[in-house]
Chain A
Amino acid sequence: MNIVTDNKWIGQRTIRPDGVDKVTGRAAFAADTTMPGQIWGKVLRSPHPHARIKSIDTAKAEALPGVKAVVTSADVVDFPLEKGAVMLGIQDMRWMCRNVMARDKVLFPGHPVAAVAATTEAIAAEACKLIEVDYEVLPFAIEIDDALKDDAPILHEWNKFDGRPSNIVGKLEHKKGDVAEGFARADVVIERTFTTRPVHQGYIEPHACLISVAADGKTTIWSSSQGQFMVRAMVAHLTGIPQSSIRAIPAEIGGGFGGKTIVYLEPLATLLAKKSGRPVKMVMTREEVMRATGPTSGSKMTVKIGATRDGRITAAQGMFYLQAGAYPGSPIRGAAGCSFAPYDIPHVLSQGFDVCSNRSKVAAYRAPGAPIGAYAVECVLDELAEALKMDALEFRLKNAAREGTKAAHGPTFPRIGYVETLEAAKNSEHYKAPLGTLQGSPRGRGVASGFWFNAGGESSAQVNITEDGNVVVTTGHPDIGGSRAGIANICAELLGIDYKRVSVVIGDTQTVGFSNLTGGSRVLFASAMAVTQSTEQVIKTLRERAAKIWNIDPEAVKWETGAAHPVSPNAGQFPPLTLEELSEKAPSLGGPVGASVQLNTQGAEGGFGTHICDVEVDTDLGIVRVIRYTAVQDVGRAVHPSYVEGQLQGGVAQGIGWALNEEYIYTGDGKVDNPGFLDYRMPVCSDLPMIDTLLVEIPNPKHPQGVKGVGEVPLVPVMAAVANAVHNALGMRFYSLPMSPPKVSAALEAPVAQAAE
């Protein structure tokens, strides 16, 4: 496939199609809409981390004036455990049905046990208090070590691991060569154990929905999610309403980062709306978001890597235990699969273990699992480079995966851009610049790399030419970070018209073909393919129309700069026919012009990034400050460079939060003790420097514009880059995250410098 490089719109920093609505407060997010007659829904949540539900009595709540409906697990479609998995994407409906409403047992504080709809939010909340739940409180385990003890309370009694009841609910193994043989050939072997805490995706918009179920079962869902088709399918499964009756309308989404790839409220609001006959609105509080949605796994990992004296890695082994929370589903694939992928290593054994514990069910978070594993692996690589007295980037270059490298997780890499990111990092101004000094505040520099699989999959698009000769593109993916701007650039490029003439909208489930989740860094990759093919069909139609008017062969017509032209003077001497002119003539030439394409896209190649981080440590307060940061990434093709840079910058900010401050803290009775933004400390503006980006563009040969997914890679290397910088500054390494002020202070005050964990 030829990649066109002489572009007018691709690569331009155009104004996003949804921009003006968003800077003027007009854009409608999940909680911004109302319906006539709407009432309010609220969820009653478990106060216990682990308990058996003996009975639920809703009579008093139902009797409260203003209450219109109460639902419990008896109203939710059951997916019995013994009947086996019912998969929707990566989600097993057996767990989803129990996660949205507890059956038999509650497994975390915040687990829904009932839901109420009433005429006001206050009455709904009051009614929740009147519901009587008789619990048999059970012992609980939250941390991985506790959940793995021999006498640990078992969340799912039916589950066995190695023949015994266990909280290990899944295992995955990638094996290449023979690690014993590889380690035997190594001159230096380093093995370390790391822990990370669960962290929340931290989207600013809480989950919300507004749902109407008409008397004939026609259901309208207004909610923000990372996939309106996922919402429709989940609700259909959990309520029994057929998908054809459910119109899921994607509201603007106020951040997701993976956390909105599953549903929480929508099935409950649908059941309440059905039971009450009224539209039901539900909006989570921040506290509910923190207690009952997300986060990503906490982890415990042991990584062992060996290398020869000349800096060749001979073997690598990783054991990644990830905390799933209430139900199976830790991102062990990302941890075990991605962590060693940037390197050409002959012998690899990488194992992931999915561990249930009494915490909210894990949800995807930006390159799920990969940043966790990369933190461990890239820190060990840093120690190896130091032991070998090699520059950290040179060491990575010497072992870098390239075209033809067989990755332990399966694929043989095609043309990839990892080496280019290392070289760009090495040649960057940042890497060449001295660290500088500040009296009493040690500084350090660290580097780290990362890999993420990226994804293709199902996408649909429609391109319609309006009667006045402009363009409407409809895709099926919620736009979470500017994908509409990229699509406008691509469509304008292909049609040769001003990008402002292209309107890009996100269709609802009943107006555009099935499109899989906004996730896996797949949206621009996949929807650009569907939009490109649709636009090409439109152009073909337009050429045929011009040929008809000119009475020449369609093959003798070319499309350029927004108009049909004869391919050469030999084909005929005609003035060009513009898009406007052809639209005007459309009724007499065969009808409206438009095309729709539905694809299962293939060819989304993995992405690589390399980051450089400078820190300064306030040794009095234990505060680590990032003072300079450069993210380098192979982005394939930056269709809209500003939003590509934005993905890198945003991912880095999240990683800095994960590295330095963010963590779930628990009370002695198993509740999240910091369920708000004051105590769950995400980076604020004054915590961060400008975040520099270097976009390496190695076009994806399997994509018409050369696009590779870019959204997730930027989080993968960050915690390791920060940790390596802290090590460089202090000469001590932290084997657990976050490197928060109390932990750093304690380590600095400890008598032995190497005592950090």
Chain B
Amino acid sequence: MAKVHVSTTVNGEPMEFLCEPYETMLDALRGALGLTGSKEGCASGDCGACSITLDGRLVCSCLMLAAEAEGREIGTIEGMAQGETLHPLQQKFLEHAALQCGICTSGMLVASEALLRKNPDPSEEEVRFWLAGNLCRCTGYDKIVRAVLDAAAEMRETAP
């Protein structure tokens, strides 16, 4: 079967790529598009390391076909910082030491950013349940939850 041609937007940039009909969005990101910040931990939608946004909505890119990106807007970890300026979540993850090995970090950040867009003032419990689809084996989640709450507080203060 011939490859599928896909026109899409990734982190605000128009992009085109070819993919096999069975390829996942994660395969396309890591392969054809060279964006390896999204990770494959399970390929079954259980670990969240491949989290991206699709038209602003949080999804597991391992559960989405690459061909489905046609005409849509994809957001990945590579688009989170604005040039040299880190997103407040990225900064707070560093300050709180909310990563150890770092393999889950991309997905955690993408998921957290999606949360704060939807709910700028989440409770600890809301953060914990929102991030329940993102596995971290290193940190016990403590510092991740603190970083997200701290980033949310800072973003509320600086919001226009």
Contacts and interface: CB of A to CB of B under 8 A. Distances in A.
A286 interface: yes
B100 A646 contact: yes
B41 interface: yes
Contact of B135 (A643, A684, A691): A684
B101 A16 contact: no
Given A23-B86, A686-B128, A204 B143 contact: no
A32 interface: yes
B99 A23 contact: yes
B97 A204 contact: no
A240 interface: no
A481 B101 contact: yes
Interface stretch (A464-472, A496-504, A554-562, A649-657): A649-657
Given A23-B86, A23-B94, A690-B145, A205 B78 contact: no
Given A24-B80, A685-B131, A653 B104 contact: no
B132 interface: yes
B94 A649 contact: no
A203 B103 CA distance: 9
A23 B44 contact: no
Contact of B139 (A253, A480, A646): A646
B138 A481 contact: yes
Contacts of A645: 97, 142-143
Contact of A24 (B90, B125, B128, B134): B90
B7 to A, nearest CB: 23
B105 A205 contact: no
A643 B104 CA distance: 16
Interface string B105-144: 1100100000000000000110111011111111111111
A687 B135 CA distance: 11
Interface in A473-490: 480-482, 485
Contacts of A32: 30, 36
B39 A205 contact: yes
A202 B142 CA distance: 18
B41 A205 contact: yes
Interface stretch (A96-104, A183-191, A324-332, A675-683): A675-683
Contact of B101 (A15, A122, A253, A688): A253
Contacts of B40: 31, 206, 283
Contact of A649 (B37, B42, B47, B143): B143
A25 B78 CA distance: 6
A480 B96 contact: no
A607 interface: no
Contacts of A511: none
Contacts of B142: 645, 649, 688, 690-691
Contacts of A122: 20
B44 A25 contact: no
A108 interface: no
A614 to B, nearest CB: 16
Interface in A1-34: 13, 15-16, 18-20, 22-29, 31-32
B95 interface: yes
B99 A22 contact: yes
B35 interface: yes
A254 interface: yes
Contacts of B134: 684-685
Given A254-B103, A684-B135, A652 B36 contact: no
A525 interface: no
B97 A643 contact: yes
Interface string A528-563: 000000000000000000000000000000000000
A257 B136 CA distance: 13
A182 to B, nearest CB: 39
B137 A22 contact: no
Interface string B73-106: 0001110110000100010011111011111111
Contacts of A640: 97
Contact of B141 (A201, A205, A482, A685): A685
A25 B90 contact: no
B140 A650 contact: yes
B46 interface: yes
B38 interface: yes
B10 interface: no
Contacts of B141: 649, 653, 683, 685, 688
A18 B93 CA distance: 12
A643 B77 contact: no
A286 B36 contact: no
Nearest to A15: B94
B100 A25 contact: no
Contact of A684 (B80, B132, B139): B132
Nearest to A641: B97
Given A25-B77, A204-B47, A650 B37 contact: no
Contacts of B63: none
A699 to B, nearest CB: 22
A252 interface: yes
Given A23-B109, A286-B44, A686-B128, A254 B145 contact: no
A452 B40 CA distance: 33
B43 interface: yes
B102 A678 contact: no
Interface string A629-673: 000000000001011011001111110000000000000000000
B103 A255 contact: yes
A22 B139 CA distance: 15
B49 interface: yes
A204 B39 contact: yes
B137 A255 contact: yes
Interface string A281-294: 00101100000000
A676 B145 contact: no
Contacts of A677: 41-42, 44, 46-47, 135
Interface string A203-225: 11110000000000000000000
Contacts of B94: 15-16, 19-20, 23
B138 A255 contact: yes
Of listed B40, B42, B139, B140, residue having the most chain A CB within 10 A: B140
Interface string B19-63: 010000000001000011111111110110100000000000000
A29 B140 CA distance: 21
Given A19-B94, A255-B137, A646 B143 contact: yes
A99 to B, nearest CB: 23
Nearest to A25: B37
Of listed B96, B104, B142, residue having the most chain A CB within 10 A: B142
Contacts of A253: 101
Contacts of B124: 690
Contacts of B76: 25
Given A653-B141, A691-B140, A691-B142, A24 B81 contact: yes
A470 to B, nearest CB: 20
Given A204-B41, A646-B143, A18 B135 contact: no
Nearest to B110: A25
Interface string A690-730: 11000000000000000000000000000000000000000
A84 to B, nearest CB: 37
Nearest to B146: A690
Given A31-B30, A31-B36, A485-B97, 11 more contacts: A16-B94, A19-B99, A31-B40, A203-B101, A255-B101, A642-B96, A649-B142, A678-B44, A683-B140, A685-B127, A688-B140
9 contacts: A24-B37, A203-B101, A205-B41, A254-B41, A645-B143, A646-B100, A652-B140, A677-B44, A677-B46
- Please give me the 5 A-B residue pairs with the lowest Cβ-Cβ distance, nearest first: A25-B37, A254-B103, A653-B140, A642-B97, A22-B102
